[in-house]
């Protein structure tokens, strides 16, 4: 188990390094002089030069790269050209809102998606299955940005039940969570259905049934517990989609998280913040995938002990 975790960590490190390199390159492919672009049209030559130094854009590309990586390892993600504060502080101030939204959405998606998927699998080829399959294929076909707008139209404009945006009360978290989990519910229920169908056809299910235990114990303790392994894998793989969706969701619902920070920085041509935010998103995804792998190994004794 320990060697397995160590191996996974060893794979994650070069990937993280590669991700850092890509975000470094991101700011170097800006057409024209990046410092000039970011400083804005009113900036003087001195302003531009000062910004160039702050953002590590002076000197040869190699010295820039060395400086970038060195500063990154010290937790320094450059300075926002818009506000002058360190990007890492901007991110820290917003991270919690995004984490809250993402965690809520994934919990909702897993609970609802697994329930629907199990129901469909147990009633395979029935009317229930047919309806659930139809609903879930719609679920995975609805772009989060449209779902968000439809939810606002229905629950804020028509019914007036829930706020259309902001983060003032607990009620305002409902619509963003639903919007963001919408795709994942459909996705997870489809995966759960097929994993459950496959699992319930395995030999051991029959021998467990021969023990005479209750139907629910059979389905949950043996069926779902084993189906959870493939489900976990695909859910982990889909987490990147959720993060991308979070950016759009935050924009639609004016949710003050990293996604909003990213979009605002793009409009303000504050590329240092764009670069830093994208790096943090990618690092988060790597971390989640690492955790999924470890969790998977923990859940599957065949990996845990080998």
Partner 1 sequence: MTDAVVDPVSIPVPRSARPDRLLRRLWRHRSSRLGLILLGLILALVVLGPWLTGGSPSSDMAYQNLAASLQPPSAAHWLGTDQLGRDELVRLVLGARYTIIIGLGAVATGVLVGLPLGALSGFYRGWVDLVVQRLVDVVLAFPSFLLALALVAVLGPGLRNLIIGVALTSFPRFVRLIRAQVLSVRERPFVEAALALGVSRGRILWRHVLPNSMTPVIVQTPLELGSAVLTAAGLGFLGLGVRQPTPEWGTMLGESRDFIFSNPALVTYPGLCIVLVILAVNLLGDGARDVLDPRLRSRIKIPRRRRT
Partner 2 sequence: MTEPVLEIRDLRTYFHTIRGVYRAVDGVDLTVRAGRTLCVVGESGSGKSATALSVMGLIEAPGEIQPGSRIRFDGQELVGLSDREHRRIRGRDLSMIFQEPMTSLDPVYPVGHQIVEAIRAHQPVSRKAALNRAVELMALVGIPSPERRLWDYPHHLSGGMRQRVMISIALSSHPKLLVADEPTTALDVTIQAQILELMRDLQKKMGMAIMMITHDLGVVAEMADDVAVMYAGQIVESGIAEEVLTNPRHPYTEALLHAVPVLGMSRDEPLRVIPGVVPSPLEWPAGCRFAARCRYAHERCAEPPPTATVGRHQTRCWLPVDRSIGTGSATRTAAAGEVNR
Asked if 156 and 191 count as a contact pair (C-beta separation under 8 A), the reply is no
The one of partner 1, partner 2, none whose footprint includes residue 74, by CB under 5 to 8 A per kind, is none
* DSSP codes joined into one string, 97-138: HHHHHHHHHHHHHHHHHHHHHHHHHHTTTSHHHHHHHHHHHH
* DSSP codes joined into one string, 44-75: -HHHHHHHHHHTT-SS-HHHHHHHHHHHHHTT
Which residue among 2, 6, 10, 29 contacts partner 1 (CB under 8 A)?
Answer: 29
CA dihedral of 77, 79, 83, 85, whole degrees rounded to 10:
80
Closer to partner 2 at the Cβ: 202 or 263? 202
Closer to partner 1 at the Cβ: 18 or 59? 18
240 binding partner 1? (CB under 8 A): yes
Structure-block tokens of residue 49: 């030069």
Q: Which residues bind partner 2 (CB under 8 A)?
A: 202-204, 206-215, 221-222, 225-226, 229, 299-302, 305
- In the shown chain, the binding pattern of residues 243 to 282 toward partner 1, with x for contact by CB under 8 A and - for none, equals xxx-xx--xx---------xx--x----x--xx--x--xx
Where do we find the tokens 């990147």? 240
**Shortest separation between residue 220's beta carbon and partner 2, angstroms:** 12
The one of partner 2, partner 1, none whose footprint includes residue 19, by CB under 5 to 8 A per kind, is partner 1
269: left (phi over 0), alpha (psi -120 to 50) or beta: left
Judged by DSSP in three states, 168 sits in: coil
Where do we find the tokens 């080829």? 125
131 binding partner 1? (CB under 8 A): no
Closer to partner 1 at the Cβ: 45 or 157? 157
Closest CA to 20 of 57, 72, 56: 72
Which residues lie near partner 1 (CB under 8 A)? 14-16, 18-19, 21-23, 26-27, 29-31, 124-126, 137-138, 140-146, 149-150, 152-153, 157, 198, 240-241, 243-245, 247-248, 251-252, 262-263, 266, 271, 274-275, 278, 281-282, 285-286
């Amino acid at each position: 188990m320990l060697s397995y975790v160590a191996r996974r960590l060893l794979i994650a490190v070069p990937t993280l390094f590669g991700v850092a390199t890509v975000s470094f390159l991101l700011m170097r492919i800006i057409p024209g002089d990046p410092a000039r672009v970011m400083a804005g049209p009113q900036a003087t030559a001195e302003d531009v030069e000062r910004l160039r130094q702050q953002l590590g854009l002076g000197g040869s590309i190699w010295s820039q790269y060395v400086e970038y990586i060195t500063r990154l390892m010290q937790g320094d993600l450059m300075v926002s050209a818009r506000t002058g504060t360190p990007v890492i502080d901007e991110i820290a101030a917003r991270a919690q809102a995004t984490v809250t939204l993402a965690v809520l959405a994934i919990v909702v998606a897993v609970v609802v998606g697994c329930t629907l998927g199990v129901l469909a699998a147990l009633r395979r080829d029935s009317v229930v299955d047919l309806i659930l399959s139809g609903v879930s294929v719609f679920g995975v076909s609805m772009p989060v940005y449209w779902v968000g707008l439809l939810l606002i139209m229905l629950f804020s404009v028509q019914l007036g039940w829930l706020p259309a945006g902001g983060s003032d009360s607990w009620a305002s978290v409902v619509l963003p969570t639903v919007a963001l989990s919408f795709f994942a519910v459909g996705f997870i229920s489809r995966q759960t259905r097929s994993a459950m169908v496959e699992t319930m056809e395995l030999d051991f299910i029959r021998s467990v049934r021969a023990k005479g235990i209750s139907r629910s114990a059979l389905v949950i303790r043996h069926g779902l517990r084993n189906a959870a392994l493939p489900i976990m894998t695909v859910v982990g793989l889909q987490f990147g989609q959720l993060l991308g969706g979070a950016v759009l969701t935050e924009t639609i619902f004016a949710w003050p998280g990293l996604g909003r920070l990213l979009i605002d920085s793009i409009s303000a041509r504050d590329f240092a913040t764009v670069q830093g935010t994208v790096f943090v998103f990618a690092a988060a995804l790597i971390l989640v995938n690492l955790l999924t792998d470890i969790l998977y190994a923990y859940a599957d004794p065949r990996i845990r002990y080998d």
